[in-house]
Amino acid sequence: MKTLPDAAFSQGPIKVGQSISPEEAMDYCFDIARHGVGKVSPNPLVGCVIVDAEHRFISAGYHGRYGEAHAEQEAMNSVDKSKLKNATVYVSLEPCAHHGHTPPCAVKLAELPLKEVIYAIADPNPKVNGKGAEILRLAGIKCRLLEGYEDKAWEQNAFFFMRQEKEKSLVVGLKVGMTLDAKIANPGDERRWITNSRSRQLSHYLRLVYDAICIGARTVVADNPSLNPRETSFGDRMPWRVVLDPTLVALKERPLEGLNLLRAEPEKVIWLTARENRDSKLVEKLSSLGVCVRFLEVDKSMQFSAVQIVDAVEDFPIYSMMIEGGSSLYHCFLESGLLDRLHVFMSVGKLYGTGGLPLYPGFSEINLEPRRLSSYEIDKDMFFDIIL
C-alpha cells in the first residue's frame, strides 16, 4: 500500500540556506509540481529545485500554467545569481531542448556556471529525448538521472507519458465508486454515498487532473451533479463537462435552470445529442446559454459509439477525459477498447445484490490487460489505479 496521490505535501516548505539531500531536493520537485494540476495540460507537471555548491537550498520553481514559464525558468528567475557557481539543479523531468511557447530550458541552464543537472526521468518527446541532457554536457555541465525516481515521475505525469507511448492525443479514464459486488447504485436509495468521504475527496482531485468529465443522461437526471472539483487544496478550475443525451431526456426531466453542471462556465459544457434534435426548442435554449451542442448519428438503439464520442471531444482543447458513469456509459467504454486508465473506489463492506445497478451490464467477456496496478487503502475503502 502506498500514500495517496493527493496526500498533503510530503514535506513542509524548505527554507533558503537549509541543507538538503538529493532525495529531499527531488521529492520537493514532485511536491511543488502539483501546483500546476489542472492548469498545464497538455504539458506535464514539472518542479525544479536549485542547491548551491554546499547543497543548501537556494531556489525552486514549478510550471504553473500552460504557455507560461517552465519550472527551471521559474527557479532561475527567483535565484540569487551570486550563489550559482557549482550549483546543482534538480528537476522532475529532463530539461526541454526545443522552442515552444518558451525558449529551451536546457539552453538557458547551459548559460549558468552549474556543476550538475539531475533529473527524474527522460522526456519521451522525440524533440527532447536525450537532447536536453546533451546540450548541458556540451556546455561542460554534468547531467544524469537520479536512480529510483522513474516510476514516481511516470505516475505524476501518466497522461503525458501515455499519450506519447500510445501515440494518441486523448487519454480516456474511467472512474467508479462501487460495492464489493461491483454495483454502482441501489435504485430507490440513490442519495446514499457508496464510498467514504476520503475516497470522495480523492475523486474530486481526479476531476482536477482530467481536462474533461463525461456522464450519461440518466446520471444527470438521478444525481444532478455539479462535476466541479471540491474539497481539494489544489485549485478549483472547472473541467470541461461532456453530457451524452441523445433523446434529450436529461433536459426533459430536469429543468435547465436547475441543472448544477451548467452553473459555472456553461461554455465549457459539451452536449452530445442525436441529429434528429436539431430543431428542438430545448437545444435552442441550451445553446443560448453558451453550451456547445454537437449532433451525432445514432444507431438503432439511439446510442453513439465510443469512437464517435471521442472524435466529437477531440474538436476541443481536451487531452484527457474521465468517464464518470453511469452504468450504460461504463458499458459503452468498457467494451470499446478505448480506455487507458481505471480509477476504482470499492466499499469493501457493502454489497447491493441483484437489485443493484452493475458496473458492467454487458454479456461479452472483457479482458482489459492492465499494464500497471497500484492499490491503496482509504479507511475501509480500497482504491485501485489501473493503467491499461
Ligand X SMILES: NC(=O)c1ccc[n+]([C@@H]2O[C@H](COP(=O)([O-])OP(=O)(O)OC[C@H]3O[C@@H](n4cnc5c(N)ncnc54)[C@H](OP(=O)(O)O)[C@@H]3O)[C@@H](O)[C@H]2O)c1
Interface residues with ligand X (CB under 6 A) are 176-178, 184-185, 190, 194, 215-219, 222-223, 244-247, 249, 302-304, 324-329, 332, 357
Rounded to the nearest whole angstrom, what is the least distance from the CB of residue 213 to ligand X in the complex?
10
Q: Is 308 exposed, middle or buried (0-12, 13-18, 19+ CB in 10 A)?
A: middle
Residue indicated by cell numbers 481536462: 211
CA–CA dist 263, 308 (Å, integer): 27
Of all residues in the shown chain, the one whose CB is closest to ligand X is 326
Residues forming a β-bridge with 358: 183
Q: In whole angstroms, how close is the CB of 124 to ligand X at the nearest point?
A: 32
Question: Residue 285: in which H helix or E strand, if any?
Answer: helix 281-288
| In the complex, least distance from residue 6 CB atom to ligand X, rounded to whole angstroms | 18
Taking the CA atoms of 276, 339, 369 and 342 in sequence, report the sign of the dihedral they define: negative
Q: How far is the CB of 236 from ligand X (least distance, A)?
A: 21
Q: What is the CA radius of gyration of the chain?
A: 23
Give the residue with the Cβ less far from ligand X, 59 or 228: 228
Of the pair 93, 244, the CB lying nearest ligand X is at 244
Q: Are 327 and 361 in contact (CB under 8 A)?
A: yes
Determine the residue type at 369. Answer: E
Nearest residue (CB) to ligand X, 149 versus 205: 205
Catalytic residues: 72
Strand 142-145 relative to strand 116-119: parallel, antiparallel, unpaired?
Answer: parallel
* Closest distance to ligand X from the beta carbon of 283 (Å): 13
Which of residues 129 and 305 has its CB atom nearest to ligand X in the complex?
Answer: 305
Q: Are 154 and 121 contacting, i.e. CB atoms less than 8 angstroms apart?
A: yes
Q: Do 214 and 329 touch, CB atoms closer than 8 A? A: yes
Nearer to ligand X, 64 or 225 (CB): 225
